């Protein structure tokens, strides 16, 4: 039986592939779970149209991501945190903090797209990479400053 995959199926193929499978596997597993459709002439045409629409959508999304990357390159974020000796922060600056600061500036970025290997725990200037789309990365400048010490009698 030949089927056209509607979703990626591990060990079988990617979305849109035409694959030959055992009749029982196709009838009892792939078709009922809507992972595939039968490879008829009309279904092949429909899948081909879906592929073309997907390619157009991917190209548009990539162009949008590239435009947003150019805007993000000029962005600089500043954080003020309490720090102890040797400029070690008492807390840290996380990808969630960076996402919130970007949102305050009008950029809606999911925190999972911000690639911090570990939270920022020192005072300084950092370049933080953001993966906007496959192959489209931006870098945001993040400055972490020390919070001014409170005068002795005001705690």
pLDDT computed for residue 152 by the predictor: 60
Q: What span, in angstroms and rounded, lies between the C-alpha atoms of 55 and 79? A: 40
pLDDT computed for residue 88 by the predictor: 87
- Is there a contact between 143 and 78 (Cβ–Cβ < 8 Å)? yes
Residue in the block written with tokens 């911090």: 116
pLDDT computed for residue 66 by the predictor: 92
Ordered per-residue pLDDT tens for the chain, 155 residues: 999 998 888 889 888 888 999 999 999 999 999 999 998 988 888 888 888 888 899 899 999 989 999 998 888 999 998 888 888 888 889 999 999 999 999 888 888 999 888 888 989 899 999 998 888 899 999 999 988 776 665 55
pLDDT computed for residue 7 by the predictor: 86
Q: How is residue 155 written in tokens? A: 């705690």
- Is there a contact between 39 and 31 (Cβ–Cβ < 8 Å)? no
pLDDT computed for residue 32 by the predictor: 94
Q: What span, in angstroms and rounded, lies between the C-alpha atoms of 66 and 135? A: 9
Q: What span, in angstroms and rounded, lies between the C-alpha atoms of 122 and 79? A: 11
pLDDT computed for residue 43 by the predictor: 87
The structural domains of the chain, ordered by start, are 2-63 (3.40.5.10), 69-146 (3.10.430.100)
Task: Specify the 3-state DSSP secondary structure of 77.
Answer: strand
Q: How many DSSP H helices and E strands does the chain contain?
A: 3, 8
Q: What span, in angstroms and rounded, lies between the C-alpha atoms of 10 and 149? A: 57
């Amino acid at each position: 039986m030949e089927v056209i995959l509607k979703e990626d199926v591990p060990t079988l193929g990617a979305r849109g592939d035409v694959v030959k499978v055992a009749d029982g596997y196709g009838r009892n597993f792939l078709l009922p779970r809507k992972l595939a459709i039968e490879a008829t002439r009309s279904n092949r045409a429909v899948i081909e149209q879906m592929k073309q629409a997907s390619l157009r959508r991917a190209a548009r999304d990539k162009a949008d991501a590239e435009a947003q990357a150019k805007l993000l390159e000029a962005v600089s974020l500043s954080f003020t945190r309490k720090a102890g000796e040797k400029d070690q922060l008492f807390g840290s600056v996380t990808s969630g903090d960076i996402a919130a600061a970007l949102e305050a500036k009008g950029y809606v970025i999911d925190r999972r797209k911000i690639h911090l290997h570990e939270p920022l725990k020192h005072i300084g200037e950092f370049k933080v990479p953001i993966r906007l789309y496959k192959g489209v990365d931006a870098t945001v400048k993040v400055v972490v400053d020390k919070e001014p010490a409170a005068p002795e009698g005001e705690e």
